[in-house]
Chain A
Amino acid sequence: DTSSCGYKSCHATVPNMLNVHLVPHTHDDVGWLKTVDQYFYGGRNDIQHAGVQYILDSVVGQLLQNPERRFIYVETAFFYRWWKNQPPSMQKAVRQLVDQGRLEFVNGGWCMSDEATTHYSAVIDQMTLGLRFLNDTFGPCGRPRVAWHIDPFGHAREHASMFAQMGYDGFFFGRLDYQDRTNRIRTLEQELLWRASESLEPPYADLFTGILPNGYNPPKGFCWDQSCDDAPIMDDPDLEDYNVDDVVQRFAAAANSQAMAYKTKHIIMTMGSDFQYENANLWYKNLDKLIRYVNTRQANGSQ
């Protein structure tokens, strides 16, 4: 593996400072209020405004504009539909994004499976289907490193066992019992090593597990998708409503508050939600500014 994907493509972090990892993502249900193909095309937007083909078009365009930008994609059922309709020039550009770790697949199964009602053999089938496509299409750089179950309604031990046995290094989820969450925030136990089998010898079914801070949504006030109404970063002092200081201050407060519930100097912010990034420019334009202004303040002494 001589490429620059995987762990080699990680952005540098800053020791002794709080590091906020902004993770742009879109949660694309493979059928819910609409059918899978309606979601892909953006049909029946009167039921729910969602068109995955536009999301992937838009995200790829934004990633190509700035090599620092990152995006994770999850549901191979949608990605496969999009990929097979792309011209060779676009496929080549996307391969380069994947090779450089700018577009990263997480989970990587055909879908994000339910954990309560699924049979293990069916889970393995759908995971294999998605991962095989990624492997055939992108090789080792298309291989997901973490499992990403941000929406399933509770989590089964056998799923953690399967992910560990498939070679995933970590697992992130959003939904847990509200009493459990309260307790884990108090005891700083939102990150843990899940020992997911009573029969397999450790570490074969051990899986690092991270509970996401806000379900899978951005912190309050920082949703810059077209479906949200939060104020953009208005940074031209010649114009009205200049708000950079306010945004940076609110962001620092959100980050510090979140960091109190986790053990290390690294926290995650999930910058996205259901079928977001249909116009990815809105997100990335504001995230670029956020990173620039917050890091400027950090360079000036704030941690």
Chain B
Amino acid sequence: GPPAAIQNKFVRATFDPATGLLDSLTNLETQQTIRLTQNFYWYNASDGKSSISDQASGAYIFRPNSSSPFIISCTAETESIQLQEVRQQFGPWVSQVIRLHSNSKALEMEWTVGPVPIADGLGKEVITRLDSSIASSGVFYTDSNGREVLRRKKDFRPTWDLRQTEPVAGNYYPINSRAYIKDDKDQLTVVTDRSQGGSSIHDGSLEIMLHRRLLHDDWRGVGEPLNEMSGVFPLGLVVRGRLLLSLTPPALAADAHRPLAQENVLQPLLSFTEGGPPPGS
């Protein structure tokens, strides 16, 4: 079974021994803990065969067939490599490594998704979803092009009286570097390594779309379904990426997520050379 927890001097993450899923997150400096579970789900992409509209989900348009995503696995097979790394297998095409680097204040979640199976004839839009004890009251926050952060409210528009037609898709916003939810005590911030779509569909919940594989075109001109394959990935593209989680009081959150996001964009560039030191050094 999984370890009860992984921990460094800043962060402690506990796991549910019955499921292998993340269970709680603690900031050891501020002595705050939230209940936090994480899992992978997929939305069943609309194929356009619906009485309301014949719009299919596609490269441009996200149109889930139902507002409830399907869970990929209720449990994860876990393998503990060291105290700081837990490897989770959710199924043949979804796995994740949760890590604590010794000097990091953030919990790293390295996800690997694909090849997304389509033999059942269903297009799939895969999300990771964090469900926490934070009382976020329908509000979440997303960055704009990696700079200022805007407040988003579920089923709400600041500039007009919204008539919501898509309870999930109509609440997705672009995330370029970060998204967060908060209440009076706790702020959970997720820093991404690439631009993704995301939302908070339920209070305390934050979801990020990781990968999409679709069987229909959505009629905006591109004329092909978003079905990525190649010689390297003949069964469908496999994608790997990282999310960084930070738990702090709201007042301290910016001091944590700003450097995290900058370090993510302006990463050290490694270069290698064979043999000894270069001449002249």
Task: Name A's B-contacting residues (CB within 8 A).
Answer: 32-33, 115-121, 123, 153-154, 156-159, 161-162, 177, 179-180, 183, 197-199
Which of B145, B148, B177, B222 contacts A197 (CB under 8 A)?
A: B148
Q: A180-B157, A180-B159 are in contact. Are A118 and B195 (CB under 8 A)?
A: yes
Q: A117-B176, A117-B195, A119-B177 are in contact. Are A183 and B160 (CB under 8 A)?
A: yes
Q: A153-B60, A156-B174 are in contact. Are A120 and B146 (CB under 8 A)?
A: yes
Asked if B68 is an interface residue, CB under 8 A from chain A, the answer is no
Cβ of A115: which chain B residues have Cβ within 8 Å of it? 145
Question: Are A180 and B160 touching (Cβ within 8 A)?
Answer: yes
Task: Name B's A-contacting residues (CB within 8 A).
Answer: 60, 144-148, 150, 157, 159-163, 174, 176-177, 195, 221-223, 265
Question: A158-B148, A161-B147 are known contacts; what are 5 more A-B pairs with Cβ within 8 Å?
Answer: A121-B265, A123-B145, A157-B148, A162-B145, A179-B157
Cβ of B144: which chain A residues have Cβ within 8 Å of it? 156-159
Name the distance in Å between B74's Cβ and chain A's nearest Cβ.
32
A and B contact pairs by CB, cutoff 8 A, 19 listed: A115-B145, A116-B174, A118-B145, A119-B145, A119-B176, A119-B195, A119-B265, A120-B145, A121-B146, A156-B144, A157-B150, A158-B144, A158-B148, A162-B145, A177-B157, A180-B157, A183-B159, A198-B148, A199-B148
Cβ of B145: which chain A residues have Cβ within 8 Å of it? 115, 118-120, 123, 156, 158-159, 162
Cβ of B163: which chain A residues have Cβ within 8 Å of it? 179
Complex CA gap A179/B155 in Å reads 13
Q: Which residue of B has the minimal Cβ distance to A181?
A: B160
Cβ of B195: which chain A residues have Cβ within 8 Å of it? 116-119
Which of A33, A119, A123, A156 contacts B221 (CB under 8 A)?
A: A33
Complex CA gap A226/B107 in Å reads 58
Q: Which residue of B has the minimal Cβ distance to A117?
A: B195
